[in-house]
Structures are given as structure tokens and as C-alpha cells.
Amino acid sequence: MNKGAKIGIASVAAAMLLAGGYGAYALVSGDSGSKEAAKPRTVVAEPPSPELAASGAKAFLDAWAKGDLFAAAKLTDAPDKAQAALQAFQDNVKPTAVHLTVGGPTTAPSPAASKSAAAGASASASSTAAPAPTGVLEGFKASLEFAETGTPWNYDGVLGVVKMSDGTAAVHWAPTVIHPKLDANETIGVKPVFAAPAAVTDRKGRPLAGYASLTGLLNQLKAAAPQGGSPEDAGSAVVVSPASGNGAAEKLFTLKEPKPVANLKLTLDADLQAAAEAAVSAQGKPGSLVAIEPSSGGILAYAFSPSTGQNRAFSGATAPGSTMKVLTAAALLEAGVTPSTPMPCPETTMVTGKSIGNDFKGAHPEYTLTDAFINSCNTSFIEKGKDVLKANSLPSLAKDVFGLGLVWQTGLSNFDTDIPVEGNMAGAASEFIGQGKVRANPLGMASIAATVQSGTFRQPILVPGMKQVKAARSLSPQVLSSLQSLMVQTVKSGTAAAVSPALPAGSGAKTGTAEVDNTTDANSWFTAYSGDLAVAAEFQGAGHGSAAAGPAASKVLRVGNH
């Protein structure tokens, strides 16, 4: 890799000659045979005649073009700086041929020269030096050839020409002599260049910019986007870079085009993402939503509010409430309970010295598992769970069948659902209804719904082809069918029936109302599936699951997975 060389810094730039800056430069004769030191040459105030300026510019350009950098440098008012800069340019840009032609007088200094002129004028204003000299600006055309390409690099340059005390002309040295875009704080050289970062698109190749919840993801992917990957993929170009090493380089001329980088397609779907963003924003409360494709595990959309805060869709860790009853029902079914098995619903029950009730008043001794599930009776699940389940039943099922508790690599940082193994049934009973120490987020709960829909756990991912951990086993066909039936019935005649807009026909769902310590309003949860699409949502302090999370999830489900 060739490193750009810093061009010598001139105290006064070409444009300063027109602005009225002052400079005096002592030059030593190149005649080393002289026994006496040559009289120093200095810049004088009188400008060179047009003929003298043109001849001085031509002499400098001719010497530079021939590669006689020592002679070219002697024709400037700062030979040492000029020779070092011209040599650095030759060494680091490596043109095989340089063609330079005088273009005649000009009144348009380069942008870099203008910046230098402003600095020089400021410095001279506070100086008590002699009256400022006046110079002439001469334009020139450069055409450089390279071994790597048959296309020459053509650009227009500007030289400032001053009159010296011996009556000769000299090129006023400034970084802009090399190239008009080069200033004193930059370097120029040939460096490897790579293709622009790959565009990040949805699964159909559509752009994903503009979705508030995706800003963090897109920034992360842009920073880590493929940049060619290997030296073989790199191109090369003449670039101007900050001498400090901080800041972006500006490409001046491409010698070799880099290998293109393919777009990065994510599993996301722009239509569903737009629906998710709108559904979450409409609630006016902190919340989040995740949509997953059950057949692949691909994450089709996620959104969270406020969009400038935590990505609670992936990193949230709160009690999921009664949406956890999907797992508890699966555990009960595997333990031999059937949808028609009696599961009386007392008005209250005790758990670790605390009275637990339901979201409705009155007892229902006639309830079966189906009734308890679709009406979300806490006491039924606690009582039956204590009778037929063990303290580790729920954590074991969650990990072995639903993949919860395994480490997921989704493509973004995420919190893995945590269902601790309690030491006794009293602690486990709270987990049966999604309270206690259970912690989850919409990513985990959407995955539960996706697993119920397809019958197989497929770890959620954002990038197609990512490694997906596998669950140890699946539910039996009978248990799976019963569980699906419970979720579908919940939409038809249970707590999800009141959701507006209504869920698509054939949907399965479970509402959740999670009471969190030190808060007055419960959190609203909802998880559901329809066709090859599963969604989960949560909203802080929004109350019943059908009141906030349900409508948000329904809006996304109604878009569908097409």
C-alpha cells in the first residue's frame, strides 16, 4: 500500500498574490563552485510582466514534465519545499509520463488556494513587514499517464508567479501547485480503494432506509458491510487525504476499478416493516413488535417506540404475562391434560403467600382447559400446573421444544428469553402465568407463535443463511394440533375476539396482561399467527392484551406474508 506524502506547507498560497500577502524568500545559487555566497534572491513587490510570468511558468512546467525536479524546484520561491513535494508526488503517485502546458493568465484561484490565501492575508495583516508583493496567476493543463490504465488523468491547475530581486520570475510555492484540491493539511498518493458499501435491502431487493426502528441496524451493517473483502477485490486511485489520518479521503482519479460488492438482502419485508412501524407508533406508548416467518425463522419486521431508545423488541426483558400460557398449555397437554379436561377456575388462589386472581370476577368451576385458555384464567393454570407439572416442566419444555434459553445469533444483539428453574412449585406457579422471574420480549414470544404454527422451532434470523440453533425435539402431532386449536378458539370466542381490527380468519392467538411491580397499569401483550406469519407485540402500561398489543399485531397480520 502506497502512503500519500504530505506536500510542503507554504506560508502564502498562490491566491494570496492577488489578495496582497507578503513573502520574502532567500534563495542560494546552485553554483557550488562559487567562492563567495550568492546574493540572496527575494520576492519584490513589483509584479512580473505578462511575458516574464508566462516564461517563468513555462520553464517550471517544462522542468517538472521532464522529471528534472531539482531544476523545477529552483524555479520556485521555496526550492527545498518544492523539491521535497515534487519528489513525494512522483514517488507516491508514480505517473509514467507527465505532460504540462501553460494555459495563460487567469483570475480564478483554486478552492484550496483561496483557503491558504485567507490564512496568509490574516497573518500579513498583523505583520510589520515590507509592503506586499503582487504576483500573476497562470493557468496550466496537466495530463498524467499511468501504467495501470490507458486513460490519462487530466486536470487544470493554477500557478502563482512572482518577480524576484534579480529580475527573474519564480513560481510561488504552495500545495496547490501539485493539484488545485490539495492544501497544506493534506497528502496525495495512490491508495487501494474498495467498492462502496453494499446496499442493504429487504428480501425483495427494496431499500430499507427511512424506517426509524431500522436506523441502528442499518448503521451497524454499513459499518461492517463488505468492502471487497481481500486485496484481490481492491482497486486503486489517486486520493487526497487528511494528513492527520482522520476524515474521509477524496478520490481524484481511478486507476483500477474495485470489484463490485453485491447488495446485502435481509429477511425483512418493506411492506410488513412499514405496517409494524405504523402500528407501534399509533399506540402512543413505549412498546415494540416483531414479525417472523414460521417456515424459515426469518424476521420479517420489527419496530419499537420510542425509536431513539432501546430496541425493546430484541433487548426487552419483562414479564410476558398470559402469553406464556401457550407454553404452559403445551406442558399440560404433554402431561396428559386434554382440551376437554376439567380445569376449574376459582376466583382467587394463593401463590407464595400472595393472592392471585383473574381479569374477570367470579368463579367458574365448569371450566375445561379450553375454557381456561381462551378466557385466560390464571387460577386454573396455577392450580392444574401445581397438580400435574414439576418445577422444571416449563423451563425444560421451553428449551427443548421452543428453543428458549438457547443462545440465538439473530444478526442483532438480543436478550434470550429467561425462564428460570425454580426450587419449588410455589415459585414455578408464578411462571405458569408469565409472572414471577420470567423475562421475555416480542422476539421470543413471536418465535413461540411461529413454532406453534409450523410445528418446528426455527431460530429467528435477520440475514438469510445465518446459522440457526435447533431445538432438541418437537411436540407430538396430537399435542400440536390441540395447542393450535386452543389458539384458534381464542380468536373465535375468547379474549382475542374483541381485538379491532379483527384478526384474519383462521388466526391463532393468545392475549397477555402482565402486572409489573411498582407500576399502576399492566403491560399489554399479544402473540398470534396467521398463515406463514407470526407476530408478537407489547406496550408498556397499556392494559389488557386485546386493547393495545392485539390491534397492533392484527394490523401487521392483515398485511400478510406474500
Residue-level pLDDT at 245:
81
Residue-level pLDDT at 3:
41
List pLDDT tens digits, range 191-237. 998 888 788 999 999 999 999 999 999 988 877 766 656 788 899 99
pLDDT beneath 70: ranges in the chain: 1-38, 108-133, 225-229, 517-519
Roughly how many angstroms between the first and final C-alpha of the chain, as a whole number?
A: 48
> In the 8-state DSSP scheme, what is residue 364?
B
Intervals of CATH 3.10.450 along the chain: 5-27+41-186
Contact indicator for 325, 433 with CB cutoff of 8 Å: yes
Q: Are strands 235-242 and 186-193 parallel, antiparallel or unpaired?
A: antiparallel
DSSP 180-236: TT--TTEEEEEEEE-PPPPPEE-TTS-B-TT-GGGHHHHHHHHHTS-S-SSGGG-EE
Residue 552: closest CA among 500, 507, 491, 498 = 500
Say yes or no: domain 270-511+521-559 is CATH 3.40.710.10: yes
Helix (H) or strand (E) holding 111: helix 111-125
Residue-level pLDDT at 268:
98
Residue-level pLDDT at 37:
54
Instruction: Decide: helix, strand or coil at residue 151.
Output: strand
Residue-level pLDDT at 194:
87
Intervals of CATH 3.40.710.10 along the chain: 270-511+521-559
Give the integer Cα–Cα distance in Å for 176 and 197.
Answer: 31
Residue-level pLDDT at 231:
81
Residue-level pLDDT at 394:
96
Say yes or no: domain 5-27+41-186 is CATH 3.10.450: yes
| One-letter amino acid for residue 33 of the chain | G
Is the whole-model pTM more than 0.75?
Answer: no
